[in-house]
Chain A
Amino acid sequence: MTTTATDADASSAAPDDTLRDVRPLAVEGLTIRFGGIVALQEVSFTVAPRTIHALIGPNGAGKSTCFNAITGIYQPTEGRIRLGDKDLVDTPAHRIAALGIGRAFQNLALSGTSTVLDNVMLGRYALTRGGFLSYGLHLPWTMKAERRHQERAAEICDFLGIAAHLHKPAGVLSYGDQKRVDIARALAVEPTVLLLDEPAAGMNSSETAEMAQLIHDIRIGLGISILLVEHDMSLVMGIADRVTVLDFGRLIADDVPSVVQQDPAVIRAYLGAEVTDDPSGPTHATHADKEFPA
């Protein structure tokens, strides 16, 4: 409780000229069962370093379950998840952030009454030290480190265009800005892999284009891997380097966007039928899904 505050490692306190050491995120044979329900069945894919990797699939395909498994909220029934050579399944959930995995949430999960800065600073938790007494007694080195981390958080907010709202309660911001606060918080972890859970949810086409640009900027600017779950195909096909498609917990495609778009299994999953020229062909619907590949 009274550990002293040490400087966070230098690469997080000052803007880094060198790119971060980004390892591949490998999901291997991931199987998750909840009682009788099989949410994921032997899913394997790898997020190559510094790429944007999209995880798509109809509703209920298991995408969020996969995310939750990576961040340690769910324990896999079988399978491994590795970041480089570090086994994430063996790591306690609260230590995964320190390994460099940052996550933005589908439902934002912000503290509405706390300020934007306060929310983003939560992302610095794994990079800071100091318990009740270090902060309570205002120990000088703790305060100095805190100041430095706040400045970094402000930088990140500036990069995301929300620096004007730093001291406002997060709850008063627009939905789009709140999403950016969520992403800022995930970036504050100084991740090597950024997990974005439906970043374009609830956005119109111009907002989605902005989000696409932002994701692109993050990848270029920070040189990190980005894994995103998304329904919006224009976003996915536009920026993803690789696309993994899930359906009913199984992996049905894993390739570059142009190939996946043409994959008949993928089309069938979304539309529920073979795409043939015969209009009287079988058309049983398997999913009530609005989005389908462009």
Chain B
Amino acid sequence: MSETTTPVTPDAAAPLADATGPATGPTSAPVPTATAVRGGRREDLTRWALWLVLAVVMFLAPIYLPGEYLTVGTWVMTGAVGAMGLTMLVGQAGQLSLAHSFFLLVGGVSYSVLSGDGSDGFVGLHLPTFVALVLAVAISALVGVAFAPVSGRLRGIYLGVASLSLVFLGWYLARSLPSLAGTTSSGRYAEDLHLFGFNFGEKSPSLYVLDVPIGQNERLWWLFAALTAIAYAVARGAVQGRIGRAWRAVRDNEAAATVMGVSVVRQKAVAFAVSSAYAGLAGVMVVWWYDGLLKPDEAVDSGTYSTTVAIGYLAMVVIGGIGSLGGAILGSTIVFGMPLIIPLLTQGDGSGINAVSGTDFSPVVITNLVYGALIVLIIVFEPGGFAALGRKLTARLRRG
């Protein structure tokens, strides 16, 4: 190491013997830097192995799990995709947004309009479903970019509350434009995804794997698992790379970021675009999950595209660990998974979400109490969320 430990006279014309100045030729570049930069081979192998195991598990799950559990899993995956987008915006780029459920709506409406066949008085462009999916995501991204300039004017909580306006706006527009978003009474139905002739919404399947009919539930599981995995891998690559660095610089010190060459305006726009794109994708997944149904909410604070859901997404991000992609997935498992899994585990008859009124401790009530309390506990004791807890745990295991 070129630690200068002896005081030296400033008049020395030559650098110290072991100071490897970058201009002194390639032969003096120390060999260790290349390997100092790469992670170890072992870490790479473990990572590949884990991915393989995960892929096998996800592939086999529909074979062995009953349909009701699959629907819980697919619902959690829609939340996971959305939450990964939000954690990039809030955690990496440092822009607080409470508008996530608005972009879910944008994605869902765009997909329904683009893929719909134009019957029943609804607007439909009858594009191939895969094209409609890609375009719906792109449209969500563009709408996100349109909102991005507000983040140049507002910061922190002000930006968060301002973004809440979008949820209200979306709620109002959806209710006012039934030909696009569906009627408030019965909604509208969107197309299932067809990929190379494979229908992901197939209700009477002829495909069998290990004697298990691969119907809609199973196919949706595979589709969502693939989408979630891709979303995760892409996000991870970006966060670890140049974009992630730029975002974190914008988050920590905008002036310093600018001095390093980051265009703050541009990177905020990119963050909003990416986050909205993820939310748009989640929105399309939500429509598929509801069997193709897109329906405007009755009230602005309850329903699929409500302020409550927007806050729920923020909860996922905080609980998982702000900025952590794995944490976002964990957060979705808690916030979106609990209300659905509790009735399955307690009653076993899998009747789905019980719309319980009265003073029972319904699954929704329990979930709300749990994640509300978790938010408080995490911010007080471990602001880095479960991701930080996980890191500390692995560090301790490695040492001990």
Contact = CB atoms under 8 A, between A and B. Distances in A.
Contact of A147 (B22, B25, B37): B37
A238 B10 contact: yes
Interface in A1-38: 1, 14-17, 19
A196 interface: no
Interface residues of B, number: 59
Nearest to A103: B259
A163 interface: yes
B260 A123 contact: yes
A97 B249 CA distance: 14
B241 A158 contact: no
Contacts of B12: 213, 216
Interface string B1-29: 11110011010111110011111111011
Contacts of A131: 242-243, 270
A172 interface: no
A217 B240 contact: no
A163 B259 contact: no
Contacts of B19: 159, 217, 221
A185 interface: yes
Nearest to A92: B263
Interface string B227-270: 00000011111101111111011001101111111111000001
A19 B22 CA distance: 11
A274 B19 CA distance: 45
Interface size class of A (residues with CB under 8 A): 35 or more
Contacts of A135: 237-238, 240-244
The winner among B3, B29, B30, B259 for most chain A CB atoms within 10 A is B259
Given A125-B246, A135-B241, A220-B14, A15 B33 contact: no
A221 B25 CA distance: 11
B34 interface: yes
Interface string B23-66: 11110111011101110000000000000000000000000000
A164 B1 contact: yes
Contacts of A220: 13-15, 21
Contacts of A14: 26
B34 A17 contact: no
B245 A125 contact: yes
A132 B36 contact: no
A189 B261 contact: yes
B114 interface: no
Contacts of B24: 15, 221
Interface stretch (A53-61, A149-157, A242-250, A259-267): A149-157
The winner among B23, B262, B270 for most chain A CB atoms within 10 A is B23
Interface string A140-175: 001000110011111110111101101000000000
Q: Is the interface of A mostly helix, strand, loop or mixed?
A: helix
A125 B3 contact: no
B214 interface: no
B36 A163 contact: yes
B167 interface: no
B261 A94 contact: yes
Nearest to A205: B7
A150 B10 contact: no
Given A15-B23, A130-B241, A136-B235, A98 B261 contact: yes
Contacts of A95: 261
Nearest to B33: A154
B2 A159 contact: yes
B79 to A, nearest CB: 20
Interface stretch (A81-89, A110-118, A225-233, A285-293): A110-118
B273 interface: yes
Contacts of A128: 242
B96 interface: no
B274 interface: yes
B227 to A, nearest CB: 14
23 contacts: A15-B28, A92-B263, A94-B263, A96-B259, A103-B259, A105-B259, A109-B256, A125-B242, A126-B260, A130-B243, A135-B242, A136-B238, A136-B241, A147-B37, A155-B22, A156-B22, A158-B33, A159-B19, A164-B1, A189-B261, A217-B15, A221-B21, A222-B22
Given A15-B23, A109-B252, A189-B261, 7 more contacts: A15-B26, A93-B258, A105-B256, A122-B245, A155-B20, A163-B32, A213-B12
Please provide the 6 A-B residue pairs with the shortest distance between their CB atoms, ordered closest to farther: A221-B21, A126-B261, A135-B241, A97-B261, A136-B234, A109-B256
Interface of B: 1-4, 7-8, 10, 12-16, 19-26, 28-30, 32-34, 36-38, 233-238, 240-246, 248-249, 252-253, 255-264, 270, 273-274
